[in-house]
Amino acid sequence: MSLWEYANPVKFMALSGRILPWTAALSAICLVVGLIWGFFFTPDDFRQGSTVKIIYLHVPSALMAINVWFMMLVTSLIWIIRRHHVSALAAKAAAPIGVVMTLIALITGAIWGQPMWGTWWVWDPRLTSFLILFLFYLGYIALWSAIEDNDTAADLTSILCLVGSVFAVLSRYAVNFWNQGLHQGASLSLDKEKNVADVFYQPLLVCIAGFVLLFVALMLLRTRTEIRARRTKALLARERMA
């Protein structure tokens, strides 16, 4: 019994069908609990007032925006190396979720930035990097939709994802060099001292769990749809041949 067995679409469909309702339900619970807790049962920040509560949307979506790209990079590598179709389809399925996460992070950031910095947008390195990440997502999705042949599309988008990742990291450093920013340091980190007090921190963790589960649920759902679409296509092709 190895993990690779779930690269078989049939096995994947069976397993994902079983865990999808659970992840969807769990994510709904986490999001409802985390957001209500965060919005209504935490004190206002002494400096930022109630605007700080937007972190319960901003931080999880920003985390997901980057991690979804990372997940696409891993699944693209698996496709290139082991050529499991499910892996390529999972990357395809994840991209639109990633783009929405990036958009949520950008918009909530703008809403937060307006009262804090007095402006909707600044060319801060973090903000700029997210905008660039958004462009990378758009290019990736556009390439998938432009190519008819499934395997060709999977190959080309995988290589684009690889090359794009390298250039995304390069862009991040270039942007840092180009402008030192306004944005506060990361709210969460493992090695540094916490920037966020415990009262804010606990609901934030619940919200992050909710976003991760939401992503997993959406990704499974979309991958299942892609697999079904592929199967339909394959069946039609067979019918034409027979």
Partner 1 sequence: MKALLIRDLRLAMRAGGGFGLGLAFFLIVTVLVPFSVGPDSALLSTIAAGILWLGALLACLLSLDRILALDWEDGTLDLLACAPLPMEGTVSIKALAHWLTTGLPLILAAPLFALLLSLPSAGYIPLILSLLLGTPALSVIGTFGAALTVGIKRGGLLLSLLVLPLYVPTLIFGSEVARRGADGLSYSTPLIMLAGITLGTIALLPFASAAVLRVNIR
Partner 2 sequence: MHLNVQDLSVARGGIAVLEGLSFTVNPGQALILRGPNGIGKTTLLRSLAGLQPALNGEINAPNESIAYAAHSDGIKHVLTVRENLEFWADVFGTNDIAPALNAFELEPLANRPAGALSAGQKRRLGLARLLVTARPIWILDEPTVSLDIHAVEMFANAIRAHLVGGGIALIATHIDLGLEADILDITSFKAKPVAMKDDAMEGFL
Structure tokens at 107: 């918009």
Q: In angstroms, what CA-CA distances link 171 with 68, 73, 143, 225? A: 18, 17, 21, 34
Which residues are at the interface with partner 1 (CB under 8 A)?
A: 132, 135-136, 138-139, 142-143, 146-147, 152, 155-156, 159-160, 162-164, 167, 170-171, 173-175, 177-178
Contacted by 170, from partner 2, partner 1, none: CB < 5 to 8 Å by type = partner 1
Give, as ranges, the residues between 194 and 233 that touch partner 2 (CB under 8 A): 227, 230-231
Q: Is the dihedral of CA 130, 135, 138, 139 positive or negative?
A: negative
Contacts (Cβ under 8 Å, ≥6 apart) of 210: 27, 28, 29, 30, 31, 33, 34, 35, 60
* Least distance between partner 1 and beta carbon 104 (Å): 20
Contacted by 45, from partner 1, partner 2, none: CB < 5 to 8 Å by type = none
Q: Is 92 in the site for partner 2 (CB under 8 A)?
A: no
Contact between residue 41 and residue 202 where contact means Cβ atoms under 8 Å apart: no
DSSP conformational letter for 43: P
Contacted by 132, from partner 2, partner 1, none: CB < 5 to 8 Å by type = partner 1
Give, as ranges, the residues between 47 and 76 that touch partner 2 (CB under 8 A): none
Q: In angstroms, what CA-CA distances link 66 with 63, 87, 130, 209? A: 6, 19, 9, 15
Site size toward partner 2 (CB under 8 A) is: 17
Contacted by 114, from partner 2, partner 1, none: CB < 5 to 8 Å by type = none
d(CA 185, CA 143): 34
Nearer to partner 2, 7 or 31 (CB): 7
Length of the chain, please?
242
Q: Is 238 in the site for partner 2 (CB under 8 A)?
A: yes
Nearer to partner 1, 50 or 152 (CB): 152
Give, as ranges, the residues between 139 and 158 that touch partner 2 (CB under 8 A): 149-151
* Least distance between partner 2 and beta carbon 91 (Å): 16
Nearer to partner 1, 90 or 154 (CB): 154
* Least distance between partner 2 and beta carbon 222 (Å): 17
Contacted by 229, from partner 1, partner 2, none: CB < 5 to 8 Å by type = none
> What is the Rg, in whole angstroms, of the alpha carbon atoms belonging to the chain?
20
Among 16, 136, 14, 2, which residue's Cα sits nearest to residue 76? 136
Contact between residue 181 and residue 124 where contact means Cβ atoms under 8 Å apart: yes
Residues forming the site for partner 2 (CB under 8 A): 7-10, 84-85, 149-151, 227, 230-231, 234, 237-238, 241-242
